[in-house]
């Protein structure tokens, strides 16, 4: 038996478009000689539909789209994910379509409600297995989270399943695929039943789906491994109780993370209809990486970089920005901020009389730059991509309505140390970032001789503390016990706590780590609790 895996990148809410995409893949699957195709979780409507599911009109439109898909799907059996209303309750479902109609439906039994997931907000839980026979093989259907628990797999086996297929929508992080392998291998060991994953790919707001569909056989060996971040039709053979298909090599962590960021920006820009992007190019490493990602995502003709020098901008920053413009062949502008900065200072001179310059003046420069970028965005329609990274977001090393102004924060979940790793990776493919940009000490260039490390601990220290506190929920005392200086831990965790109000107002950005500052970080702004 040949089975097709439709590793799709649907557009949330584009029901008609998603039906057409699924039907086209079904035609391709028939051409490839398969008689059964598996599409991902909620492929019909997109994932996650969030509060659209509360709308009766949306639920009715999904039901109509399923009927349309079934009526037009000929000559192949299809498993597809969709919302399902039954007896007044809403379920996360996957249906088997055969001979122009829905032949059976499975209702998801385990609803994730942690990190980025809110499925219990919308769905009720199913309690029945669904096993059907296809070409002499009994196939069980589960959905995503079900496989993380032994009971749904055991129930499918008890119902006769010889193979379990899993429509899936599991958000990406850099360690997720290995975690999926561990979980699925555990279920296979317990049940002795091979499991075949059909996974989403592409970006949806801040979430990413890496594709990388796979199959694990009863002996725990990988029988099929699809490519990451590609919309593709995979074909596997299921013969003598084993899954056999192509096993594509997996990329390095850096290659995977970089590809994730490219796909995230491309899908956000294209799915929302922006003609292109704008970014502030400073000559620093963060904006250099952002520029590389933007060009790889959209092409040089859709990227406009703006250098906005001040009296504190080093000549090498200008030189490096111009070199990157020439390497990438992008549209490039230089707009000096000094005249506007001086006008602000003159207007505020009376109010500020008797007070020395401080971060106020630094922030004015950043806000002038943000205003210029947003003006260009308003005039020409391109979206501003911010260039701040996760380390800066954690400790508030950013300016509200300044460098935080924009539509998408592509490095929002990329620590400073990872920024450097990704720059080296991208240059290993082809040189797009001058080496001096990577090796010179980072600086905001908002005052004379400014360096980031004048205000912050070294980034390798800062990033480890942030990861332990923010991603792993370790207490300050536990972090100190690992070997970090108490002064550094106290300082970083305090900055992290008091800058929540900034993060709440920041643009969304791609999530690529276990925990990002977005859907899975929900801390109060007003709180007197101080972790010890």
What is the predicted pLDDT for the residue at 218?
94
What is the predicted pLDDT for the residue at 32?
95
CA distances to 47, 371, 446 from 306, in Å: 35, 12, 17
Q: Is the pLDDT of residue 249 over 60?
A: yes
Residue 528 resides in a domain: no
Residues 85-109 pLDDT 10s? 999 999 999 999 999 999 999 999 9
Residue 69: give the domain boundaries.
2-239
Q: Do 162 and 303 belong to one domain?
A: no
Q: Do 219 and 277 belong to one domain?
A: no
CA distance 108 to 342: 61
What is the predicted pLDDT for the residue at 66?
97
What is the predicted pLDDT for the residue at 364?
94
Residue 527 resides in a domain: no
Mean per-residue pLDDT for 241-259? 96
Question: Which of 189, 210, 239 marks a domain boundary?
Answer: 239
Confidence band of 447 (pLDDT split at 50, 70, 90)? low
Domain CATH code at residue 204 = 3.60.110.10
Residue 433 resides in a domain: yes
| Angle between the N-to-C axes of helices 285-298 and 315-328, in degrees from 0 to 180, rounded to the nearest 10 | 10
Domain CATH code at residue 321 = 3.40.50.620
Q: Do 177 and 272 belong to one domain?
A: no
Q: Do 222 and 267 belong to one domain?
A: no
**Tokens at residue 335, please?**
């707009």
DSSP output for 150-204: HHHHHHHHHTT-SEEEEEE-----TTHHHHHHHHHHHHHHHH---EEEEE-EEEE
CA distance 283 to 487: 32
- Catalytically active residues, by annotation: 41, 108, 144
Q: Do 215 and 266 belong to one domain?
A: no
Q: Do 395 and 480 belong to one domain?
A: yes
Q: Do 81 and 201 belong to one domain?
A: yes
Confidence band of 115 (pLDDT split at 50, 70, 90)? confident
Q: Do 112 and 159 belong to one domain?
A: yes
What is the predicted pLDDT for the residue at 528?
87
DSSP output for 86-111: ETTEEEEEEEEEETTEEEEEEE-S--
CA distance 390 to 412: 5
Beta bridge partners of 90: 85
Q: Do 223 and 297 belong to one domain?
A: no
Residue 296 resides in a domain: yes
Mean per-residue pLDDT for 449-462? 77
Please state, rounded to an integer, the average pLDDT across all residues of the chain: 94
Residues 221-240 pLDDT 10s? 999 999 999 999 999 999 99
Residue 246 resides in a domain: no
What is the predicted pLDDT for the residue at 451?
64
What is the predicted pLDDT for the residue at 277?
98
Residues 349-405 pLDDT 10s? 999 999 999 989 999 999 999 999 999 999 999 999 999 999 999 999 999 999 999
Residue 332 resides in a domain: yes
Q: Is the pLDDT of residue 454 over 70?
A: no
Q: Is the pLDDT of residue 33 over 80?
A: yes
Residue 338 resides in a domain: yes
**Tokens at residue 258, please?**
């970089």
Which residues, 6 or more positions from 97, have their beta carbon under 8 angstroms from its beta carbon?
69, 70, 73, 77, 78, 79, 80, 103
In sign, the C-alpha dihedral spanning 454, 458, 461, 465 is positive
Q: Do 350 and 201 belong to one domain?
A: no
Residues 393-436 pLDDT 10s? 999 999 999 999 999 999 999 999 999 999 999 999 999 999 99
Q: Do 317 and 435 belong to one domain?
A: yes
Q: Do 320 and 360 belong to one domain?
A: yes
Residues 140-199 pLDDT 10s? 999 999 999 999 999 999 999 999 999 999 999 999 999 999 999 999 999 999 999 999
Residue 393 resides in a domain: yes
**Cβ atoms of residues 116 and 520 within 8 Å:** yes
The distance in angstroms from the start CA to the end CA of the chain is 58
Q: How many structural domains compose the chain? A: 2
**Tokens at residue 62, please?**
């999904």
CA distance 193 to 219: 9
């Amino acid at each position: 038996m040949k089975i097709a895996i439709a590793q799709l990148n649907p557009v949330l809410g584009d029901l008609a478009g998603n039906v057409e995409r699924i039907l086209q893949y079904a035609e391709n699957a028939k051409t490839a000689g398969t008689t059964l195709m598996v599409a991902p979780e909620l492929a019909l409507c997109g994932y996650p539909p969030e509060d659209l599911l509360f709308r009766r009109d949306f639920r009715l439109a999904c039901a109509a789209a399923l009927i349309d898909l079934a009526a037009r799907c000929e000559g192949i059996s299809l498993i597809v994910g969709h919302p399902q209303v039954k007896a007044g309750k809403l379920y996360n479902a996957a249906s088997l379509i055969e001979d122009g109609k829905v032949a059976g439906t499975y209702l998801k039994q385990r609803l994730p409600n942690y990190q980025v997931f809110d499925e219990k907000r919308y769905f009720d839980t199913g309690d029945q297995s669904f096993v059907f026979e296809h070409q002499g093989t009994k196939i069980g259907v589960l959905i995503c989270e079900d496989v993380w628990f032994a009971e749904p797999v055991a129930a499918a086996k008890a119902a006769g399943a010889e193979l379990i297929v899993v429509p899936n929508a599991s958000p990406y992080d850099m360690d997720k695929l290995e975690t999926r392998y561990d979980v699925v291998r555990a279920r296979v060991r317990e049940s002795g039943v091979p499991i075949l994953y059909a996974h989403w790919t592409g970006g949806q707001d801040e979430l990413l789906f890496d594709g990388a569909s796979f199959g694990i056989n009863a002996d725990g060996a990988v029988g099929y491994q699809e490519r990451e971040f590609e919309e593709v039709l995979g074909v596997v053979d299921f013969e003598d109780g084993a899954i056999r298909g192509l096993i594509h090599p997996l990329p390095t962590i850096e290659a995977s993370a970089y590809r994730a960021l490219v796909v995230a920006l491309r899908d956000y820009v294209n799915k929302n209809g922006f003609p292109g992007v704008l970014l502030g190019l400073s000559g620093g490493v963060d904006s250099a990486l952002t520029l590389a990602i933007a060009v790889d995502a959209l092409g040089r003709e859709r990227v406009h970089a703006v250098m906005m020098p001040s009296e504190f901008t080093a000549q090498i920053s200008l030189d490096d920005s111009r070199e990157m413009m020439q390497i990438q062949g992008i549209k490039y502008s230089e707009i000096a901020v000094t005249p506007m900065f001086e006008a602000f200072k003159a207007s505020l001179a009376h109010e500020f009389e008797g007070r020395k310059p401080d971060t106020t003046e630094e922030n004015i420069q950043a806000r002038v730059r943000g205003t210029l970028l947003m003006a260009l965005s308003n005039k020409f329609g391109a979206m501003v991509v911010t260039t701040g990274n996760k380390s800066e977001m954690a400790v508030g090393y950013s300016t509200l309505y300044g460098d935080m102004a924009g539509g998408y924060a592509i490095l929002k979940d990329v620590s400073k140390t990872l920024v450097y790793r990704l720059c080296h990776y991208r240059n290993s493919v082809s040189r797009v970032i001058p080496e001096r940009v990577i090796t010179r000490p980072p600086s905001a260039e908002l005052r004379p001789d400014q360096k980031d490390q004048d205000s912050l601990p070294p980034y390798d220290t800062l990033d480890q503390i942030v990861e332990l506190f923010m991603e792993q929920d370790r207490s300050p005392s536990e972090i100190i016990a690992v070997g970090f200086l108490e002064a550094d831990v106290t300082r970083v965790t305090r900055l992290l706590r008091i800058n929540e109000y900034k993060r709440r107002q920041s643009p969304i950005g791609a999530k690529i780590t276990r925990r990002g500052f977005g859907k899975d970080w929900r801390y109060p702004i007003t709180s007197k609790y101080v972790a010890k």
